[in-house]
Amino acid sequence: MRLTILAGYLGAGKTTWLRHQRHIGNFVPAHVIVNEAAGIPVDDALLTGAQVLAGGCCCCAGKEAFRTALHQRADLSSRGMPQDVVIETSGLADPASILEMIRTDPLLRHHFTLEPTTVLVDALHARDQLMSDALARRQITVADRIILTKVDQASRSDIQLLLGLLQRLAPMARIEGSHMGEPYPLPSASAFVGDLPDTANDPLPQAHTLHMPADMNWTAFGVWLSALLHARGRDIMRVKGVIRTPAGRLLVQTVRGIVQKPEVIPKTSHAIDNHLVFIGRGYDTDRLEQSFRKFARL
Ligand SMILES: [Zn+2]
C-alpha cells in the first residue's frame, strides 16, 4: 500500500487541497486519516469519510495511536483488502518523526511504500514562519513535494523570495503552486541571501480548548476574539471550532490573527459544538481562560 504523508504548518490549507485532489480523482481510492493535535476533531466536518485521530499529534503524543491505525490497515491488507493511505498530519507535526516510525517498524515497512512527503506552504505567511520557527523549517527540510497555497493573494516578489528560501531549505524538493487545489503558475525564485536564525529555544506550540456556554453572547464573543487576536495575534497561531449560533452550526477559524469567513457545516458532522481550540505558544492558558470568563461573564 502506498502511504502519503501530507504535512504543513497550521492554516496552510491541507484539508482544502486534499479535498480537491480527491474530488478530481487523486488519492482515490485511499483511506484518509486526519490527525488533530487537540482533543476535538473538527476537520472531519469538511473531509467526510476520513478516520479522525484526535487528542495527540501523530509525530509525538499521538504516535502510538497512529501506529495502531496503520497496523489495522496492514491487517486488512493481509486479509486481501489493501488500500492506499493518506495521513493529513496536524499542523504541529514534524514529518521526520513519522517517517522514522514507519522505517523502523518491520510490519509497517513491509506493508507500506512511502510516497513523496508532501508539505503545504501558505505563500502569505510562510516566509515569516520559516524565519521564526524551527518546526516550520523542519517540515520543509523533509519535503519531497512542496505545494504553495494562497499564491493568488501574495505579491510576485514575495513569492520569489519565499521560493528562494524554500530552495535553500529543501534543494531537492519539487515546488508547485496551487489555488483552491488547482495548479497555479509560479514565478522564478529570487536567491536567498543571509543566514537562517537559530530558534532552537523557541517555546513549543500548545493547544488549549475553551468550552463555551450554550447561551453565549456571540457579539461579546466576537469582540473578545478580535481584541485577543489584535493583542496576541502572533502568539495565537490558530483558533478553530464549531459554534452553535442562531444562524446554524458555524466552523470558526483564524490563521495568524485573521478570522476566516465562518463556514456553515452539515448537521451530520460529529464535531463537538461550542468547543474552541486555541493553538499558540508563549501564552498562559489560565490567563486566556480568565480573560474569556471575564468577557463572557461566567
Ligand atoms: Zn507531534
Distance in angstroms (rounded) separating the CA atoms of residues 237 and 154 = 19
Q: For residue 64, is it within any domain? A: yes
Q: Directed axis angle between helix 134-141 and helix 95-104, to 10°?
A: 50
Instruction: Specify whether the CB–CB gap between 243 and 218 falls below 8 A.
Output: yes
| 69 and 170 share one domain | yes
Which of 47-51, 67-71, 169-173, 235-239 has the highest mean predicted lDDT (pLDDT)?
Answer: 67-71
Q: Which of 95, 90, 91 is nearest to 118 (CA)?
A: 95
For residue 157, the enclosing domain spans: 2-184
**193 within domain boundaries:** no
Task: Name, of 11-20, 192-201, 225-234, 238-247, the range with top average pLDDT.
Answer: 11-20
- Report the alpha-carbon angle 128-131-135, nearest 5: 100
Statement to judge: residues 141 and 86 lie in one domain: yes
Span from the CA of 37 to the centroid of ligand 1 (angstroms): 8
Same domain, 176 and 99: yes
User: Of 184, 214, 242, which closes a domain?
Assistant: 184
Is the pLDDT at 9 greater than 80? The verdict is yes
pLDDT of residue 242: 85
pLDDT digits (tens, 9 = 90+) for 65-75: 999 999 999 99
Q: Please compute Rg for the chain using Cα positions.
A: 19
In a domain, 80, yes or no: yes
Nearest Cα to Cα of residue 196 among 160, 234, 156, 165: 165
Q: Which of 130, 149, 184 is the last residue of a domain?
A: 184
pLDDT digits (tens, 9 = 90+) for 20-73: 999 999 999 999 999 988 766 665 555 568 898 888 889 888 899 999 999 999
Strand partners, 36: 54
Interatomic CA distance for residues 245 and 281, integer angstroms: 29
Query: Same structural domain for residues 133 and 23?
Result: yes
C-alpha grid cell, residue 109: 515497512
Please report, for the domain that includes residue 222, its CATH number: 3.30.1220.10
Which residue's entry shows cell 506552504? Answer: 121
The rounded Å distance from CA 92 to ligand 1 centre is: 6
- Tell me: do 113 and 217 sit in the same domain: no
CA of 90 to the centre of ligand 1 (A): 8
Residue 250 CA to ligand 1 center (angstroms) comes to 28
Claim to verify: residue 28 and residue 112 sit in the same structural domain: yes
In this structure, the strands spanning 118-122 and 206-211 are unpaired
User: Which residue from 238, 279, 280, 276 is spatially nearest to 259, judged by alpha carbons?
Assistant: 238
Q: Supply the CATH number for residue 26's domain.
A: 3.40.50.300
- 83 and 26 housed in the same domain: yes
| Euclidean distance between CA atoms 80 and 264, whole angstroms | 39
Q: Structurally, how many domains does the chain consist of?
A: 2
pLDDT at position 48 is: 67
Same-domain status, 23 and 150: yes
Same domain, 13 and 138: yes
Q: Which residues surround ligand 1, an ion (CB under 5 A)?
A: 57, 59-60, 93
For residue 63, the CA-to-ligand 1 centroid distance in Å is: 8
Beta bridge partners of 31: 85
How close is the Cα of 160 to the center of ligand 1, in Å? Answer: 30
Distance 22 CA to ligand 1 centre (A): 25
Residue 233 lies in a domain: yes
36 and 158 belong to one structural domain: yes
Q: Are 119 and 266 in a shared domain?
A: no
Q: How far is the CA of 172 from the centre of ligand 1 (A)?
A: 24
State the distance from the centre of ligand 1 to the C-alpha of 57, rounded, in angstroms.
4
Centre of ligand 1 from the C-alpha of residue 274, in Å: 25
Strand-pairing partners, residue 53, are 35
Whole-number Å distance, alpha carbon 58 to ligand 1 midpoint, is 5
Q: How far is the CA of 269 from the centre of ligand 1 (A)?
A: 25
Between 234 and 198, the more confident residue is 234
C-alpha 218 – ligand 1 centre gap (Å):
33
